[in-house]
Structure 1
Amino acid sequence: MSAVYDTRRQSIALSIVVPIFNEEEALPALAERLRPILDGCGEPYEVLAVDDGSTDRTPRLLEDLRTAWDQLRIVTLRRNSGHQAALTAGLHRSRGAYVISIDADLQDPPEVIPDMLTLARADGLDIVYGIRVDRSTDTGFKRRTAAVYYWLMRRLAGSFVPAQAGDFRLLSRPVVETLKTLPDQQQIYRLLIPSLGFPSGRITYQRAERVAGTTKYPVHKMVLLAFDSITSFSAAPLRLATAMGAFSLVVCLAFLVWALTVYATGRTLPGWTSLIITVLFFGAVQLFCLGMLGEYVARIYTAVQARPTYGVARDTDEEQQ
């Protein structure tokens, strides 16, 4: 590491956090576009590449890039812990007065980073969200499911959740320090950060196609993200279970009145079909309610265990000290 950068390490103005998992094809393009932008800002900076347990050539490529890029810092996790956990590791270890998170696939353009920094300083903002105003490069299915996700989150978690804002954002040091005080659990930052109430602004951009490689968010991970978002920030599923229980009670009373009426008039029927339908209906409702309760109990259990969501095997910055 150069002597010039050693003197700047103590007063880093900007940290860039990049969660990475099996991005060997995208890394060269990322470095080619990101480094000139950061060098052109004229600010002391660091780039935290958080390797989330990659199994391809990503670790080797990161080492190669670091030999010619003093500001590149590699944080290696012990195992694949997930995108949000890797993001947490980067945020917690960052040192900049401002921290910007961005994915390695370059769908979110690094060219707007200087604009984010300028807006935050000019307006005294602690958060600047990257807002996707044009997602024409995404598939129709992804656009529709994303629209449903943000609509649902704004309805359940609150209107403070910005629509079409992913994990491309700027955070000030006070916001990062606040996040570090929260329990070490799997966080959904696109909901958690807006809920903190810090002054915020927005930068709009057009979402590009992935520069290389394949998406790390297939359909099943998108579904899990939506489910985690709902159960982490809303008690709506429990209320839904209560509502279904109340509805079931009404249906049950109606069946009771019908059964007594049939018995009183002497028009009893074998009733096999109605019996099966009733048993299946109430069984399904009970299992659904138990499942919802189980999800929340599981989160309480995880919180009580207080196990870390990630483990850091290596931080090249610590090796230089």
Structure 2
Amino acid sequence: MVVPVFNEQDVLPLFAQRLRPVLDRLGVSYEVLAVDDGSRDATPAVLAGMRRDWPALRVVRLRRNAGHQNALTAGLHRARGCYVVSIDVDLQDPPEVIADMLDLAREERLDVVHGVRTDRRTDSPFKRVTAGLYYRLIRRVVGTAVPRHAGDFRLLSRTAVDALTELPEHLPVYRLLVPWLGLPSGEVPYAREVRAAGRSKYPLARMVRLALDSLTGFSAAPLRVATWLGCAGIALCFVMGGAVLAAYAWGNVVPGWTSMFVALVFLGALQLLCLGLLGEYVARIFTAVQGRPAYVVTEES
């Protein structure tokens, strides 16, 4: 088990109470690798206390907050199981589904089993709408191999984990990276539950960042959008030029600056948008060239 944790002092005991019986009933040896993503509350102390009563719990502490996906990377690089399940600690993804994932992977010899959310009524209307837009956009741009409404609750075989850890990704988005591998995969549906305690660690800013990383990391479509916007702007300029010539020919020229102002603002906004899209890709290249580690481990139990 790989469990990213960030400021989750309230939910950790509840998470352990539900996860441990599920894993004990599987009848296999296991470890729970909790990756403390630079928590600033009592999370490290809570994890240390849990380790005294739960020998299978293993803790990796990062020096600073590296982000959810990088915390997953730290866990995947250190996970030792024949199968690895990643799950968030907030209990919105029910641990009881893990047994179904393992059974499906063994029966059909799958390398990947996605947990797919079929019921999101516990999410806010805003969250449901934005999640729906995200998956529709990603499936249209990246491809339908990306499961609809599948987050980071999944089971991976050792083959899949080794393949992921060999990739030189600096800004990984695993919900897209795992389908990209093209390994045999399946799905297990489940109903998303209410967060057990604490507050969401994915505010709007992080959701937008995830969407941008998804688009720029797995598709050149935004660059093509910039090209098409430039073509549309040129076409619009020709239309406006024709309208101006027609108005001049009919003697309907009215002195003023409105049309000129609108045209300049439109073209300026178009250029800035295209530069912004190019900047996203340049930033990814800059990050990759720097070669800095995505996370720094300060302690490992």
TM-score of the superposed pair, with normalisation by structure 2: 0.97
- Deviation, 1:314, is 1.1
- Deviation, 1:265, is 5.6
Alignment-derived partner of residue 314 in structure 1: 299
Query: Where does 1:217-232 land on structure 2 (aligned, <5 Å)?
Result: 217-232=202-217
- Asked if structure 2 preserves the Cα contact closer than 8 Å seen for 1:184 and 1:309, the reply is no
1:182 is aligned, of 167, 171, 175, to 167
- Deviation, 1:305, is 1.3
For the residues of structure 2 that align with 1:24 and 1:267, how far apart are their CA atoms? 72
- Deviation, 1:38, is 1.0
For the residues of structure 1 that align with 2:236 and 2:96, how far apart are their CA atoms? 59
Q: Percent identity between the aligned chains?
A: 58
1:157 is aligned, of 115, 136, 142, to 142
- Asked if structure 2 preserves the Cα contact closer than 8 Å seen for 1:184 and 1:307, the reply is no
- Deviation, 1:260, is 3.7
- Asked if structure 1 preserves the Cα contact closer than 8 Å seen for 2:112 and 2:157, the reply is yes
1:83 is aligned, of 54, 64, 68, to 68
- Asked if structure 1 preserves the Cα contact closer than 8 Å seen for 2:171 and 2:213, the reply is no
Alignment-derived partner of residue 130 in structure 2: 145
Query: Where does 1:253-292 land on structure 2 (aligned, <5 Å)?
Result: 253-263=238-248, 267-292=252-277
- Deviation, 1:271, is 3.3
2:223 is aligned, of 238, 261, 268, to 238
- Deviation, 1:264, is 5.2
For the residues of structure 1 that align with 2:73 and 2:280, how far apart are their CA atoms? 23
Once the two structures are superposed, residues 251-296 of structure 1 have per-residue CA deviations (whole angstroms, 9 ceiling, x without a partner) of 1122233334445565543231111011101111111111111111
For the residues of structure 1 that align with 2:64 and 2:47, how far apart are their CA atoms? 17
3-state secondary structure, aligned to 1:110: coil
Greater mean deviation of Cα atoms: 258-267 or 194-203: 258-267
Alignment-derived partner of residue 278 in structure 2: 293
3-state secondary structure, aligned to 1:313: strand
3-state secondary structure, aligned to 1:54: coil
- Deviation, 1:308, is 1.2
Alignment-derived partner of residue 55 in structure 2: 70
1:194 is aligned, of 168, 172, 179, to 179
Gaps of 5+ in 2: none
Alignment-derived partner of residue 34 in structure 1: 19
Say whether residues 1:209 and 2:194 are aligned partners.
Answer: yes
Alignment-derived partner of residue 114 in structure 1: 99
Say whether residues 1:167 and 2:167 are aligned partners.
Answer: no
Alignment-derived partner of residue 117 in structure 2: 132
Gaps of 5+ in 1: 1-15, 317-321
Once the two structures are superposed, residues 1-30 of structure 1 have per-residue CA deviations (whole angstroms, 9 ceiling, x without a partner) of xxxxxxxxxxxxxxx000000000000011
Query: Where does 1:51-62 land on structure 2 (aligned, <5 Å)?
Result: 51-62=36-47
For the residues of structure 1 that align with 2:169 and 2:126, how far apart are their CA atoms? 33
